[in-house]
C-alpha cells in the first residue's frame, strides 16, 4: 500500500488538473490518494471519477486555512462529504476572504511599482482559488527574484510589501466543519510552522480539544529529525499519524507523489479508521 494524503491540483495552487493528478499518482504506484486543495472541494468529483477508472482508492479531502493565535495553521480534513452544508458555508467564507486578500496584495504591490499583479494572479488561478503561489509565479516571471522561493522571502511573507495579514477560520471552527462533514481532522505539516516545542505542544493540545484526531508525521519535505520529533509528539498527545507529500507540481525533482518514508513505529495510522 502506498498512501499520499496531501496533494494539490489546479483547483488551488497545483499544476495538474484533478484527473491528471490522479493519473500521475496511479502511475507513481500510489494506492490511496487524497486531494487536499486549499479551502475548496471543487476538484473532488473529477478526481474521484478518475480514481475509479485508474483503480486506486480516493479519499475526498480539503486543506483548510486557519488562524491560531495570530499564526497561520493548516488543517487537512480527510474523508469528508463535500455536500455538508456547514463545510460548504465555511469554505465559501474562506473563498471570499481569499479574493479580498488577493485584491489587497495587488494594491500593496502596485504601491511598490509592480502593476497588474492581481489580474495576473487571477488569470493564473483560473476557476480555482487565488493563492500566494499564483502571485509568486507572476513576480518570478517579472524577474523580481531568482526563484519562487526568493519571491516569497522578499515579497509575500510577514513584514514584506505584498503580505496581507489575514483572519482565516478559527481552529475549532475548521475542525468542527470537518467533523460535521463526517471527516477526520489532521494537523498539516507541523514542522513547517517553525514553532518551538512548547508552542507546538500548545497547538496540539488546542487542536485535540477542538476534536482534531491526527497529525501529519510524514509531511513532504520534513527531515528525518523532524519526523522523529513529530512522531514523539503524536505518541505523547495520542494523535493518529498521517502521511502526505503536499505535492504541488513536478518542478521539484526531490518531491514526488507517494515517495514518502515509512511511519516510525508506535503510531496509529489515520487510515486504520477506514475499512480498506
Ligand atoms: P496562501 O494559502 O495563499 O497563503 O498560499 C500558501 C501557499 O504558498 C502554500 O500552500 C505553499 O504552496 C506556498 N508557499 C508558502 N510559502 C512558500 C515558500 N516559502 N516557498 C514556496 N512556496 C510557498
Ligand atoms: Mn499550496
Ligand atoms: Mn499547507
Ligand atoms: Mn498543502
Ligand 1 atom, smallest distance to 131 CA: 3
Any idea which ligand is nearest the CA of 251?
1
Give residue 69's pLDDT.
96
Separation of alpha carbons 140 and 126, rounded Å: 19
Quote the ligand 2 centre to 13 CA distance (angstroms). Answer: 5
Statement: residue 254 has pLDDT above 80:
no
Separation of alpha carbons 48 and 58, rounded Å: 6
Q: What is the tens place of the pLDDT at every residue in 40-98?
A: 999 999 999 999 999 999 999 999 999 999 999 999 999 999 999 999 999 999 999 99
Give residue 252's pLDDT.
80
Any idea which ligand is nearest the CA of 75?
3
The fold of the 96-156 domain, in CATH, is: DNA polymerase; domain 1 (1.10.150)
Yes or no: is domain 3-90+172-273 CATH 3.20.20.140? yes
Burial of 275 (0-12, 13-18, 19+ CB in 10 A): exposed
* One-letter-per-residue 3-state SS of 101-168: HHHHHHHHHHHCCCCCHHHHHHHHHCCCCCCHHHHHHHHHHCCCCCCHHHHHHHHHCCCCCCCCCCCC
Strand-pair partners of 58: 33
Statement: residue 202 has pLDDT above 90:
yes
178 contacts: CB under 8 Å, gap ≥ 6: 62, 64, 75, 77, 80, 87, 184, 185
Q: Quick one: pLDDT band at residue 276, thresholds 50, 70, 90?
A: low
Domain residue limits, the chain? 3-90+172-273, 96-156
For the Cβ of 66 lying below 6 angstroms from any atom of ligand 1, the answer is no
Q: Quick one: pLDDT band at residue 170, thresholds 50, 70, 90?
A: very high
Query: CA nearest 214: which of 75, 82, 8?
Result: 75
238 contacts: CB under 8 Å, gap ≥ 6: 208
Q: Which residue's alpha carbon is nearest to atom 13 within ligand 1?
A: 133
3-state helix, strand, coil in the chain (%, to 5): 45, 15, 40
Number of neighbours of residue 156 by Cβ within 10 angstroms: 20
Please state the pTM of the whole predicted model: 0.97
Ligand 1 atom, smallest distance to 13 CA: 12
For the Cβ of 71 lying below 6 angstroms from any atom of ligand 1, the answer is no
Amino acid at each position: 500500500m502506498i498512501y499520499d494524503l496531501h496533494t494539490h491540483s489546479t483547483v488551488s495552487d497545483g499544476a495538474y488538473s484533478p484527473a491528471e493528478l490522479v493519473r500521475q499518482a496511479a502511475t507513481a504506484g500510489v494506492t490511496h490518494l487524497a486531494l487536499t486543495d486549499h479551502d475548496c472541494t471543487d476538484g473532488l468529483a473529477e478526481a474521484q471519477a478518475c480514481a475509479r477508472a485508474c483503480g486506486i482508492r480516493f479519499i475526498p479531502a480539503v486543506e483548510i486555512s486557519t488562524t491560531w493565535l495570530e499564526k497561520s495553521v493548516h488543517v487537512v480534513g480527510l474523508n469528508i462529504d463535500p455536500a455538508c452544508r456547514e463545510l460548504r458555508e465555511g469554505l465559501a467564507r474562506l473563498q471570499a476572504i481569499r479574493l479580498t486578500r488577493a485584491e489587497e496584495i495587488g494594491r500593496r504591490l502596485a504601491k511598490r511599482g509592480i502593476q497588474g499583479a492581481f489580474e495576473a494572479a487571477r488569470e493564473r488561478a483560473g476557476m480555482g482559488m487565488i493563492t500566494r503561489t499564483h502571485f509568486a509565479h507572476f513576480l518570478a516571471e517579472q524577474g523580481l527574484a531568482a526563484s519562487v522561493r526568493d519571491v516569497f522571502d522578499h515579497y509575500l511573507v510577514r513584514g514584506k510589501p505584498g503580505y496581507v495579514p489575514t483572519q482565516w477560520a478559527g481552529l475549532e471552527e475548521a475542525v468542527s466543519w470537518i467533523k460535521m462533514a463526517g471527516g477526520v481532522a489532521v494537523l498539516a505539516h507541523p514542522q513547517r510552522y517553525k514553532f518551538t516545542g512548547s508552542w507546538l505542544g500548545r497547538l496540539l493540545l488546542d487542536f485535540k480539544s477542538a476534536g482534531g484526531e491526527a497529525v501529519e508525521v510524514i509531511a513532504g519535505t520534513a527531515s528525518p529529525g523532524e519526523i522523529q520529533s513529530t512522531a514523539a509528539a503524536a505518541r505523547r498527545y495520542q494523535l493518529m499519524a498521517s502521511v502526505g507529500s503536499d505535492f504541488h507540481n513536478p518542478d521539484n525533482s526531490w518531491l514526488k507523489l507517494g515517495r514518502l518514508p515509512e511511519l516510525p513505529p508506535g503510531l496509529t495510522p489515520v487510515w486504520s479508521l477506514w475499512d480498506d
